[in-house]
Structure 1
Amino acid sequence: MSNQTPPRGRGTTSNPANRYAPTHSEAYDDGWQQDVPLTQATEVRLETARTVISRNTSPDIPFEQSLNPYRGCEHGCIYCYARPTHAYWDLSPGLDFETRLIAKTNLADALEQELSRPGYVCKPIAIGGNTDPYQPIEREHRLTRQALEVLLRYRHPATLVTKGSLILRDLDLLTELASHGLIKIGISLTTLDDDLKRILDPRAAAPLARLRVIRALSEAGVPVGVMCAPIIPMINDHELERLLEAARDAGARSAGYVLVRLPREVAPLFEEWLHTHFPQRAAHVMSLIRQSRGGEAYDSRFGIRMRGKGLFADLLEQRFKVALRRLGLNRREERVSLDCTQFQPPGRQMPLF
């Protein structure tokens, strides 16, 4: 395991070969020490995508369609379950995932083409189901804003999850979508501890900034909830109730949580992170995770992968339910339904009967 400190603003020092690579290399100390640079620049590759709407039939995911403007994520969250997808592009799920990004430059045009197809059936689109749509490079590329403009023009419903404060730049579009019942926002809140945030998700917005986002969206009439994800044993699980209370006070209408998921290459990257930042409790953390995952670092079965099983997982679920009732975050009247009946591609005549 690496004992090096990650480059400034990055989640990991490692860049392991992806699982499809025909050859793997191993580091060897030959006496010629090479230090990790203090910073690691972000590279953005431009891509012309053939399609931009992804579909899934997973029974434990509350959406059937999703849209991701970017591949890879500059936020650098060490626990990100999307890291293994970088292997599909012959890149590493490690440092490459945070620094070698891909932007779908024709996102808006491709989205319009797909929504305009005669057989298209309108169902809410989840924006950011894989990587964050408001990661720092969105400031320059504006792909998420362009997608929202298309969805508003077509009166198409969507959900969006982010931990980036850049979302407030698009408050004008979000407010308009909300006025038609076409948008729900989820803000990911992992910790209220600034020091923990700096190593857990280094380039995401600070905890207080995320709470300000919840407050601003709520005051503008945009339905917003909080996602306490992931909950990591012995790292941030003790904050669960305080996270929910802070989000409720800021205006969140609903809440959810996910027990940390460590699929494929994420598990060794996460364990390395633990030994770097929390060496004295690393073994205990992984023991509790394995107790909740049938003895393994990860259990991919539907219905179990989000919550886990066992004593720790059951206790976490009970704590969450009790907090929801106490804070009023489980009230039926706070649940927002998205309207698919308004969908109308420009230029297509509405049915007369």
Structure 2
Amino acid sequence: MTTGQKTVFGFLGIIATLLAVILGLCLGWPLWVWGLAAALVSGALLTGMAFTGRAQRAEPFPEGTLIDLPVRPVERREIQLTRVRLPSAERDYGFLLTATVRWCPRPDGPDRPMDGGALARASVVQRAEEVTRTSEPGRCSLVQHELSAALAVMLPDPYDLVDAHAVEVTLALDDRDQERLDRLAVIRKEQTVWEHERRHEQDRREYLHSDVLRDTGSAVVWWLTRNDEQIGRTVDDLGILAQLTSAANNEEIPELLRELITTPPAPEPVWGLADTAPSAPRTVADLAGDLFRAAGINPDQKGKYLLLIDTLASAVAENDPESAEEIRRRYGSIRRTEESAASPDVTAPTPAPNGDGPAPSMNGSGPHPE
């Protein structure tokens, strides 16, 4: 019950009580009649209040108490956005937006023809662009969640004609852009590793040049600690340490330390390869030298192997006279031995057209006359 209804029932109870008192005084009621009259008045008031409260609960707004106002129906529509390119923080990379745009005309908007879908789509794209413009393309998955939250609220468009928001928002990158970003990420990681390795190498070089090899004394102390304080070995390596220190500082070896440097013996020349450069192409004479070495033959012992060398040169001369001459020149032959032993006024016999010389005698005295 409302406060007004309670006030009305209060006044009715007071009036009924006064009427009962007046009647009782005028008619001279006995005491039991006074009690009965009080009970009847109280019961009537309580019964009226109960019925009024029940009726109010059943219909709080009785007919005629409310004003019926016409309600304009809300028109909701949807439109699709498919792979709309949006800018990113990187100039040459962009996001691709796919979403469902839901919109409805504003209730207080002007009643005139318009393309509400275009307005809603432009509004959603503009709001999405504000989010992606400052976002890195490598954070595509995180930006998608940010964009979904930013477009979830239905807001009016810039012309205040429609309300729009977006659902099912998907943000992606072009496949080729994603491949480029992955390659750049790999390159950046490798470059970081290379930079660390380069700085580590520079630190080591600086440590060796400025600390270890600063002078011979520093090198000796460093070498002594590295070899478990083996004094004898360190003393034996003084010459090497002096050479390393001088080379590292582009200085000459001090006079006091030069006598500690031992010159390694010169390597013995290998016969057969003296006049052949390591990078020169292999010739028939080189192959002949390999044959001699494999067979254990030393051509320097000319008295023992002259016949073999001359026979080999004669066989090669049929197809390659230059190689035969090189074999004779490098390893010696009976013909050249005879020419060097002959007197200056004796003319050496002319070789045959096929390059073979006269047959030597078995005792080595000279050729037999024909």
Higher relative contact order (Cα pairs below 8 Å, separated by 6+ residues): 1
Tell me if both proteins adopt one fold, taking TM over 0.5 as the criterion.
no
Q: Shorter-normalised TM-score: what interval? A: under 0.3
The answer to which structure has the higher helix fraction is 2
Task: Provide the TM-score with structure 1 as the length reference.
Answer: 0.16
